[in-house]
Structure 1
Amino acid sequence: MNSILEKLSFYYKKKRLKNPNYSFLFEEPPENEYVAFDTETTGLNPKVDDILSIAAVKIKDNKILLNERFNVIVRPDREIIEDAIKIHGLRKKDLESGIPIEEAVDRFAHFIGSRPLVGYYLEFDVAMVNKYFKKLSGTTLPNKQIEVSALYYDFKIGLIPQGFVDLRFDSILKDLDIPTFGKHDALNDAIMTALIFLKLKNK
């Protein structure tokens, strides 16, 4: 059923595409390639909050291609409150040197191509990107989405049926014996998410 719904969604999005410059997103994805990505935002509501940074890494044949990473800081359209700065760690001067959101999303789309997207609570990050991508293209990202917390849940529940599965990011890292890369910024989180994906994919 899911595959049928995914196909219908894919063709619906393709039909709504108004900017042919993004037709490459609907091509057949490269074999065994994925993109893990993460965003830093002003909050958790895609309708009112803004993207402050987008980072991603390509995965190919069970390897994370760190030399092919994507990492941009976005210049916000409005003043960012102090509390938000404490969460994402981006300073005012960092944001002032950022690029416009439309440019960031356009560059992100060209980076990911038609590859499947991998993320932790990916639905939120995709919704944040789609908020702006829809204005550029007339449609939303058609890429297949792979949620690592769902992969982890399926893996753990088989070991502890009817048990509690801790889906917190740091808990997953610890259980899978994956190192934490210092502060949680978009790039570090994207790399750690890629490591989670590869470890679960190969189990």
Structure 2
Amino acid sequence: MNMPWFKLRGPVLDLEQLQRRDQLHPPAALDLCTLHDQRMVVLDLETSGLDMRRDIVLSIGAVVIEGGGINLGDQFESTLLRPAQKVSESVLIHGIAPSELEAGDDPAEALLDFMEFVGDSPILAFHASFDQRMLTRALKQTLGYKLRHPFFDVAELAPMLCPDNRPRQNSLDDWCTHFGLHVLQRHHASADALATAELALILLSKARHQGLQNLTALNQRLANWRQRQQANYM
């Protein structure tokens, strides 16, 4: 009797990793929790390049905004194990040497650790669509996990909340310079996450002064702002 061949699909995880994955918190619904009290995770990824279909996550940095400030005791940093990663032009930008990738954290463990760190909180990032898509693909390929957490783009919040007081360009460097923020190191996941969090604090303060007291209201303002932006380009 010929036995059928079965092709295994999805990542290979051990029992403990499967249990951790299945116990991850789903995202909390956006409610009326005040912006001051809302826990938010500010994320930055360093990747092997900018191709969202082929490039991979090399390092993760994140900090927490809560209680109207940055909780420096609640940070996340991990360089992932990528021993087969070839040296590319991106190394000149993020500076992650092949030796660091060869000594990195197991990707499944790093991603589980990160999602446990996130919990049910919303995520902020600068040019968030890139980080969201890269993280979504990494989680799916490595853990078989579907990311559902809402992302807020600080690169959208900044011009929306400061329409009459903004730099000519819309980069993280430009906004940090505009507000006099000192960035210790650029293109390093943890340092960029901290710089983004410092900028986000300024913007969240402006949001509250504009009558936006929670993420529900902020999300609605963003939706209206995007519609106006699209109408202006039509």
Instruction: Tell me if both proteins adopt one fold, taking TM over 0.5 as the criterion.
Output: yes
Contact 2:28 2:121 (8 Å CA) reproduced: no
Equivalent position to 2:194, from 191, 196, 201: 191
State the partner residue of 1:148.
154
How far did 1:120 drift? 0.3
Report the residue type matching 1:194 in the other structure.
A
Quote the Cα distance in structure 2 between the aligned partners of 1:188 and 1:131.
23
- Identity over aligned residues, as a percent? 26
Q: Does 1:80 align with 2:81?
A: no
Partner SS, residue 162 of structure 2: helix
How far did 1:183 drift? 3.7
State the partner residue of 1:57.
63
State the partner residue of 2:210.
none
How far did 1:28 drift? 5.3
Partner SS, residue 58 of structure 1: strand
Q: How many residues align?
A: 180
State the partner residue of 2:112.
106
Contact 2:126 2:155 (8 Å CA) reproduced: yes
Contact 1:27 1:114 (8 Å CA) reproduced: yes
Contact 2:56 2:138 (8 Å CA) reproduced: no
Render the CA deviation track for 1:39-67: whole Å, top value 9, x for unaligned: 00010112110111001001111111111
After superposition, residues 1-203 of structure 1 pair within 5 angstroms as 20-22=22-24, 24-27=25-28, 31-76=37-82, 78-135=84-141, 136-139=143-146, 141-157=147-163, 159=164, 165-203=168-206
Report the residue type matching 1:33 in the other structure.
R
How far did 1:138 drift? 4.2
Quote the Cα distance in structure 1 between the aligned partners of 2:23 and 2:52.
25
How far did 1:199 drift? 0.3
Partner SS, residue 41 of structure 2: strand
Quote the Cα distance in structure 2 between the aligned partners of 1:37 and 1:164.
23
Report the residue type matching 1:191 in the other structure.
L
Contact 1:153 1:165 (8 Å CA) reproduced: no
Quote the Cα distance in structure 2 between the aligned partners of 1:176 and 1:194.
13
Partner SS, residue 129 of structure 1: helix
Report the residue type matching 2:54 in the other structure.
V
Contact 1:156 1:165 (8 Å CA) reproduced: no
Unaligned runs of 5+ in 1: 1-18
Q: If the length of structure 1 is used for normalisation, what is the TM-score?
A: 0.81
Partner SS, residue 139 of structure 2: helix
The structure whose Rg is larger is 2
Q: What's the Cα RMSD here?
A: 2.1
Over 3 Å counting, the alpha-carbon distance change for 1:35 and 1:26 in structure 2 is closer
Quote the Cα distance in structure 1 between the aligned partners of 2:83 and 2:23.
25
How far did 1:123 drift? 1.1
Q: If the length of structure 2 is used for normalisation, what is the TM-score?
A: 0.71
State the partner residue of 1:5.
none
